[in-house]
Structure 1
């Protein structure tokens, strides 16, 4: 069973394939939503979508690869599993290099597809957790005063307290006070944790 917030989106112009995948995936307890074209999926797409996308490479009008490029330009992180025919493998490999999650060749076994979907949904959970951490860090940074942000940037850049005091024309004691408040507000205990937190947002 997947996270209730996750949906498997199937985009394929072949109705028989859509029906077959729906039957298989719903039988495993997954929530499935199908689209008969890339264009229809784009119309329904939302930033908050969770789950994964099972996407046919070859479709009329907009292909699966073109949809992948479009989603990439929109900043989508929804993991994509491409469904390919034998001749499409080089294209699918290229798509993997550009950030797709996986691809599977027709004909495929149910278990092969299900194992790839499980991996894609795990990746979706990891990406959602990363987004949540980034959001929490961004919120903490917003709580810093302008001076605290300046001190934090210099600390992260490796400057010593005396150098920071000279650069900002403030006393060492003031630097130490700001530095302590930065650590507290950012929810970190060590300099290494602070550097890691700030770097994760860049």
Structure 2
């Protein structure tokens, strides 16, 4: 089972990460040393027969954050969590557009996309999505419940320290890198 999970994560990583070794070597993502953020809107809907999760909100890095830093969205499945760097499942890494203010966003995750369907077939159903400043620092989360595969997802707020997101390891890029991670006393970096 563990071997199969690792093979699945490797296959999905091949879909979500840069395609050539040279591109992978040149691609470095940095997280803000601290940030605040929130979902201001969240909904599950159907577009024809396609179930969608639509999230809107904002992220704001703390003062002294260098340019080029990013924020992202972690998708939590029953067995693991992934931080996509591109929009193949709808929520790739995003640049802070304003370093001295809020960066507004709206993202849509199509739960019938090829990448997402493959992920769910191997990793279990999507259970949550979190806005993050780095892969270990959640800013806001929502639970995603799907009563049936063809029904609109039910999307509700979820505490960032809920067991559904706290206990699952995150795979993907977005490290604090050489920027010292500040995880305490950052909730008020507005």
TM-score of the superposed pair, with normalisation by structure 1: 0.21
- Larger strand share, 1 or 2: 2
TM-score of the superposed pair, with normalisation by structure 2: 0.22
Q: Which has the larger radius of gyration?
A: 1
**Greater relative contact order (CA < 8 Å, ≥ 6 in sequence):** 2
